[in-house]
């Protein structure tokens, strides 16, 4: 999988005119090489690993790790998680490496493990550097690109190298997002798998709902179910809750604390998120505790009609701003406050907002200007109406963009869920 991603990234680098890119962001390192560290979960301020991907394919892809972490490559390979690189560069992390290098007469490692570590060690180039920035600088000099324009996803690393050696640099974020937005065949297979998992999670979530149940108990049950399905729940809670249109529900609605028993007539916005095999699950349905009124059903079905029109627009060559426009959809006129209908079309991948929009990509221009849809992008269409005293109506699916249109990742019905 990583080989194909590197080819795509090199194609983007060729368009940029840069000699290569240095990646230290955890997701970018994992995306481009497959390498993941147990320390990723520590959310450290400084990078633990890095990768240098030159634009020219004859130059090696270099992976930078603490010297003491080389054995993790063997462990990863044995677990079936291959890591793609051409050469290794090492550095000293705190005093871990010095301790690891110390001879221990009482330590007896299996011969096959020693042999595998030796094979890995033969791919190490250069000396062990004093820190990760020094290791990157030495590699750039060895490849004779230390005076060429390089892209970086961490501007602190870029600034340090510029101050040390005069390295020319530019921000590599836009190149990375443009690359990550187009999914490889392997990524699409994983995302389809994640869709089947998301359907099971939504089914479990709905089964947890009943009059009198507490929302926190629903959250806990969903989180446990996610973990059983090999999904990492969204930190803090796998669920984003919205109640009726009052102090419990606001336009910024998510993360509203709610620990009261659900009552008849209440709405639950089942925005369910987590990470499956590195890829984001982002599914949403609306549930009504008890039978809904005819007026609310009409409102919900109107929003659903609008949603289905939006989905039909999702095809290569379309623009997300045009897809999200509802002014020309006749059903919109049936809403009491159509200006309160929020539609967002965004790319999904390692993160829920992975759209190829120039930084800052979460500003208003991302919605008003949008970006061009291309084949093999994975796009969420998120539709939320909160302009009625009847309560909100919210739905979201994620789609693979094919040459013929939109292929939904999720198949749990979009119809209003009435918990009877």
Q: Which tokens is 250 given?
A: 């606001």
Q: Which of 353, 412, 342 is nearest to 181 (CA)?
A: 353
Residue 247 confidence (pLDDT): 43
Q: How far is residue 399's CA from residue 363's CA, in Å, rounded to a whole number?
A: 23
Q: Structural domain boundaries of the chain?
A: 2-181, 185-419
Residue 244 confidence (pLDDT): 46
Q: How far is residue 28's CA from residue 386's CA, in Å, rounded to a whole number?
A: 36
2: left (phi over 0), alpha (psi -120 to 50) or beta: alpha
Residue 24 confidence (pLDDT): 96
Who's near 218: CB < 8 A, 6+ residues apart? 205, 208, 209, 239
CA angle at residue 365 from 359 to 369, to 5 degrees?
A: 110
CATH topology assigned to domain 2-181 = Creatine Amidinohydrolase; Chain A, domain 1 (3.40.350)
Is-contact 399 408, C-beta < 8 A? Answer: yes
SS (H, E, C) 182-243: ECCHHHHHHHHHHHHHHHHHHHHHHHHCCCCCEHHHHHHHHHHHHHHCCEEECCCCCEECCC
H-helix or E-strand spanning residue 65 = strand 62-66
265: left (phi over 0), alpha (psi -120 to 50) or beta: left
Q: Find where tokens 């990863």 sit.
A: 76
> Helix (H, G, I), strand (E, B), or coil: what is residue 305?
helix
The Cα-based distances of 392 to 161, 300, 312, 388, 401 in angstroms read 51, 8, 23, 7, 28
CB burial of residue 151 (10 Å; 0-12, 13-18, 19+): buried
β partners of residue 88: 63, 124
Is the N-terminal amide bond of 241 cis, ω within 30° of 0?
Answer: no
Residue 21 confidence (pLDDT): 98
pLDDT by position in tens, the chain (length 420) = 578 999 999 999 999 999 999 999 999 999 999 998 877 777 788 899 999 999 999 999 999 999 888 888 888 888 888 899 999 999 998 776 667 665 666 667 778 877 888 888 899 999 899 999 999 999 999 999 989 999 999 999 999 999 999 999 999 999 999 999 999 999 999 999 999 999 999 999 999 999 998 888 888 899 999 999 999 987 766 665 554 444 444 444 444 556 778 889 888 888 888 999 999 999 999 999 999 999 999 999 999 999 999 999 999 999 999 999 999 999 999 999 888 899 999 999 999 888 888 888 777 878 888 999 999 999 999 998 987 788 889 999 999 999 999 999 999 999 999 999
Q: How far is residue 151's CA from residue 25's CA, in Å, rounded to a whole number?
A: 13
Residue 252 confidence (pLDDT): 43
CATH for 185-419? Answer: 3.90.230.10
């Amino acid at each position: 999988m990583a080989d194909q991603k590197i080819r795509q990234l090199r194609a983007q680098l060729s368009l940029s005119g840069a000699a290569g890119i240095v990646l230290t962001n955890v997701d970018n390192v994992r995306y481009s090489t497959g390498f993941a560290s147990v320390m990723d979960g520590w959310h450290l301020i400084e990078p633990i690993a890095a990768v240098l991907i030159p634009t020219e394919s004859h130059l090696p892809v270099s992976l930078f790790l603490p010297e003491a972490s080389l054995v993790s490559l063997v462990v990863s390979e044995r677990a079936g998680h291959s890591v793609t690189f051409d050469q290794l560069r090492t550095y000293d992390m705190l005093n871990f490496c010095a301790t690891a290098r110390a001879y221990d007469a009482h330590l007896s490692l299996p011969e096959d493990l020693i042999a595998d570590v030796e094979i890995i060690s033969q791919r190490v180039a250069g000396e062990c550097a004093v820190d990760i920035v020094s290791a990157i600088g030495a590699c750039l000099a060895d490849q004779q690109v230390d005076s060429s324009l390089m892209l970086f996803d961490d501007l602190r690393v870029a600034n340090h190298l510029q101050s040390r050696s005069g390295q020319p640099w530019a921000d590599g974020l836009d190149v990375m997002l443009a690359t990550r937005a187009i999914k490889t065949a392997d990524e699409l297979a994983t995302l389809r798998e994640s869709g089947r998992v998301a359907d099971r999670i939504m089914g479990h979530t709905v089964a947890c709902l009943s009059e009198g149940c507490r929302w926190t108990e629903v959250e806990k049950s969903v989180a446990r179910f996610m973990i059983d399905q090999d999904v990492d729940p969204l930190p803090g809670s796998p669920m984003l809750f919205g109640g009726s249109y009052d102090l419990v529900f606001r336009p910024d609605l998510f993360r509203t604390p709610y620990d009261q028993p659900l009552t008849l007539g209440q709405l639950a916005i089942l925005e369910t998120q987590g990470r499956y095999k590195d890829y984001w699950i982002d599914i949403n349905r609306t549930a009504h505790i008890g039978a809904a009124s005819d007026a609310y059903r009409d409102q919900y079905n109107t929003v659903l009609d609008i949603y289905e029109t939006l989905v039909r627009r999702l095809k290569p060559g379309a623009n997300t701003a045009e897809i999200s426009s509802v002014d020309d959809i006749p059903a919109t006129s049936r809403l009491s406050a159509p200006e309160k209908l929020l539609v967002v079309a965004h790319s999904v991948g390692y993160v829920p907002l992975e759209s190829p929009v120039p930084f800052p990509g979460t500003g208003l221009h991302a919605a008003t200007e949008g970006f061009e849809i291309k084949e093999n992008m994975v796009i969420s269409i998120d539709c939320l109406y909160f302009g009625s005293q009847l309560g909100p109506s919210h739905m979201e699916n994620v789609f693979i963009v094919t040459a013929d249109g939109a292929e939904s990742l999720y198949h749990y019905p979009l119809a209003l869920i009435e918990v009877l």
